[in-house]
Amino acid sequence: MIIWYLCVMKLVFATANLHKVKEASQILGPGFELSIPADYGHPEDIPETGNTLEANSLQKAKYVYDAIGMDCFADDSGLEVDALDGAPGVYTARYAYGDIRFKDNLDKLLYVLDGQTDRRARFHTVVTLIIDGKPIQFQGYCEGSIGLKRIGTGGFGYDPIFIPAEIPVFQADGSWSLVPNTDGLAMAQLPDGAKNYISHRGRSLRIMAEYLATLVK
């Protein structure tokens, strides 16, 4: 059931990653109040044993919905590199050693792509929303390429080596417009607002927010 109180929609985000919670809160805006499973006494890791982003996202959302009984959503994201036939894909977070060690993941990817001229890649997110026990999925993409070295200090994960194809420019009227990333800026060099505007997770969450808005009209 959607809990709609004082114009705020309450949702459980099936994650323990506080970076992702902050990002999602910024993207969804003040109309949403996010909590995490640990807030309800479920601090353990959420299982994700699927072979696709869609399967993992659904598994995580169902696990949290069954455990807590509240409307919730989960995401699973992957970095898909064309020259690697879409790898690391579903194994993005554990690309190097089977653990979430992003420094090692970045080192491995830069090593594997050494000398490779085709460095096209994209971030891909699948968000699964469960409302009243019914799941629905939303997809988001961010096209770009893999840089030759780490750049920037912001963001997290693969942001220092991912070069988005387009970057947003803030306009005088308060809106964003997209322009080609001719300077080769990495995702880690973008301010949070700009990154959220073009990010794969940002795009999928905005689509989810638009869908949720139709439920309360």
- Pairing state between β 176-180 and 166-170: antiparallel
Task: Classify each residue of 187-217 as buried b or exposed e, where b means 16 or more C-beta atoms within 10 Å of its C-beta.
Answer: bbbbeeebbbbbbbbbbbbbbbbeebeeeee
Paired tokens of 11: 């949702």
Looking at the predicted structure, is the pLDDT value of residue 140 above 70?
yes
Q: 102 near 77, Cβ under 8 Å?
A: no
- Report the top-level CATH class of 4-215: alpha beta
Average pLDDT over residues 88-116: 86
Catalytic residue, candidates 45, 66, 71, 76 = 76
pLDDT, residue 1, reads: 46
Looking at the predicted structure, is the pLDDT value of residue 6 above 50?
no
Annotated active-site residue 76? The verdict is yes
Strand locations in 44-133 (E): 72-81, 88-89, 120-131
pLDDT, residue 5, reads: 45
Residue 163, strand partner residues: 145
| pLDDT class of 214 with cuts at 50, 70, 90 | confident
Question: What confidence tens digit (pLDDT) does each residue in 153-209 have?
Answer: 887 889 999 999 999 988 888 788 899 999 999 999 998 888 888 989 989 999 998
| pLDDT class of 4 with cuts at 50, 70, 90 | very low
Question: What confidence tens digit (pLDDT) does each residue in 44-84 have?
Answer: 788 889 999 999 999 999 999 999 999 999 999 999 999 99
Q: What is the pTM of this model?
A: 0.86
For the chain, the structural domain boundaries read 4-215
* Residue type at 46 in one-letter notation: I
